[in-house]
């Protein structure tokens, strides 16, 4: 355990995240200064009139277009980082996350199904149906993965990850069939599946924020028990930890966070893989420190990636493509390192 390193990261990560939100809001077609961003935020929160020096058009762009997307990037990245940390802790495997376990693909299938049903004329309330179907898809995928891996009585992480890869491949084919059914409107599903925060709105923030807070607090509350589980089921049981119940609660909470993140942003892979793994080497495996730091770091990482795709590149690239291009090589390096050194790097 390295509590000193964890304490040293809190302040700079929080400061970087706050600065990143303000700085990202200044970037785009309209130039806005950081003081103006703060003034716009203050005016919106307090209901006071804008200063006369601020362009009302710029204020509308910042408040209604940029900020929802920026906050969505922070929340989605944080939720993916936290869920990845928990999945890795449960399975004791740094290769585990919602993406490799197939949960992201399951959530994407559920959300894509809603889009196709709407194309065929079945009217559903989008604000409710997409998150609900995404969560149902994620939970169903988790159930199938657990069922397939249950043949291995020890329920090893290797069996779970292999089952996740198999189920994810099947669901990818099912999503391909949905794209075929979508016909001329297939572009909606394709762009969404590549991962994008371009359509983020304040109602999305209203959905993500309380769930992110609730899920993170639930996982943090069980952080001590999760540490004890790392010593083995027999030792954990002797110390009063109900391992089966705890695994169920943690897996369901991690699936909820992942599914709602996917319902807003589409599939964004490797954030939940990279963030907890790097932090574990910096601050140690204590989940009481790792979980909140994973939220801050995941939010900061996705904010940087989204800002690059939105404001730095000549044309906007789906953020899921960017994270996959960065995370794919990292996954390969991690996999080869694990082959050489076994599980000792966890």
With 70 as the cut, is the pLDDT of residue 136 above it? yes
48: number of Cβ within 10 Å: 10
What's the pLDDT score for residue 344?
A: 52
With 80 as the cut, is the pLDDT of residue 244 above it? no
What's the pLDDT score for residue 303?
A: 94
Structure tokens at 293: 């730091």
CATH for 309: 1.10.3470.10
pLDDT tens figures, 6-54? 667 888 999 999 999 999 999 888 888 889 888 888 887 787 888 888 8
Lowest mean pLDDT among 154-158, 239-243, 319-323: 154-158
Band (pLDDT 50/70/90 cuts) for residue 243 is confident
Structural domain count of the chain: 1
Q: Which domain holds residue 147?
A: 3-345
Separation of alpha carbons 221 and 217, rounded Å:
6
pLDDT tens figures, 170-220? 999 999 999 888 877 787 788 778 888 988 888 989 999 999 999 999 999
With 60 as the cut, is the pLDDT of residue 346 above it? no
With 60 as the cut, is the pLDDT of residue 168 above it? yes
Separation of alpha carbons 79 and 75, rounded Å:
6
pTM: 0.88
Separation of alpha carbons 35 and 155, rounded Å:
54
Closest CA to 135 of 171, 165, 111: 111
DSSP state of 310: I
Structure tokens at 188: 């909606």
Q: Give me the chain's average pLDDT, please.
A: 84
With 90 as the cut, is the pLDDT of residue 263 above it? no
End-to-end CA gap in the chain: 13
Band (pLDDT 50/70/90 cuts) for residue 283 is confident
Stronger pLDDT, 89 or 152, i.e. the higher one: 89
Q: What is the DSSP string of 158-197?
A: HHHHHHHHHHHHHHHHHHHHHHHHHGGGHHHHHHHHT---
Q: Above pLDDT 90, what percent of the chain?
A: 28
Band (pLDDT 50/70/90 cuts) for residue 162 is confident
Lowest mean pLDDT among 175-179, 199-203, 245-249, 286-290: 245-249
């Amino acid at each position: 355990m390295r509590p000193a390193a964890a304490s040293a990261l809190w302040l700079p990560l929080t400061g970087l995240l706050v600065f990143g939100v303000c700085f990202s809001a200044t970037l785009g077609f309209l130039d806005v200064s950081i003081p103006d961003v703060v003034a716009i935020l203050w005016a919106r929160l307090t209901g006071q009139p804008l200063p006369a020096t601020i362009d009302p058009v710029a204020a509308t762009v910042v408040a209604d277009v940029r900020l929802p997307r920026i906050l969505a990037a922070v929340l989605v990245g944080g939720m993916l980082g936290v869920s990845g940390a928990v999945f890795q802790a449960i399975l004791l495997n740094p290769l585990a996350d919602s993406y490799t376990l197939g949960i992201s693909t399951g959530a994407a299938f559920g959300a894509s199904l809603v889009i196709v049903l709407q194309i065929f004329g079945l009217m559903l309330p989008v604000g409710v149906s997409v998150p609900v179907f995404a969560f149902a898809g994620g939970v169903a995928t988790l159930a199938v993965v657990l069922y397939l891996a249950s043949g291995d009585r020890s329920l090893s992480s290797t069996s779970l990850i292999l089952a996740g890869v198999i189920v994810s491949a099947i669901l990818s084919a099912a999503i391909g069939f949905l794209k075929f059914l979508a016909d001329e409107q297939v572009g909606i599903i394709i762009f969404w599946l590549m991962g994008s925060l371009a359509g983020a709105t304040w109602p999305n923030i209203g959905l993500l924020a309380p769930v992110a807070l609730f899920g993170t607090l639930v996982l943090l509350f069980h952080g001590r028990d999760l540490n004890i589980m790392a010593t083995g089921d027999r030792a954990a049981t002797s110390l009063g930890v109900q391992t089966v119940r705890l695994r169920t609660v943690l897996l369901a909470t991690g699936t909820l966070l992942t599914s709602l993140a996917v319902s807003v942003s589409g599939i964004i892979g490797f954030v939940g893989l990279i963030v907890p793994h790097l932090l574990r080497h910096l601050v140690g495996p204590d989940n009481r420190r790792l979980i909140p730091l994973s939220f801050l770091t995941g939010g900061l990482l996705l904010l940087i990636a989204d800002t690059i795709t939105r404001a730095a590149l000549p044309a906007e690239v789906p953020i899921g493509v960017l994270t996959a291009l960065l995370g794919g090589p990292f996954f390969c390096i991690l996999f080869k390192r694990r082959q050489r050194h076994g599980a000792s790097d966890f």
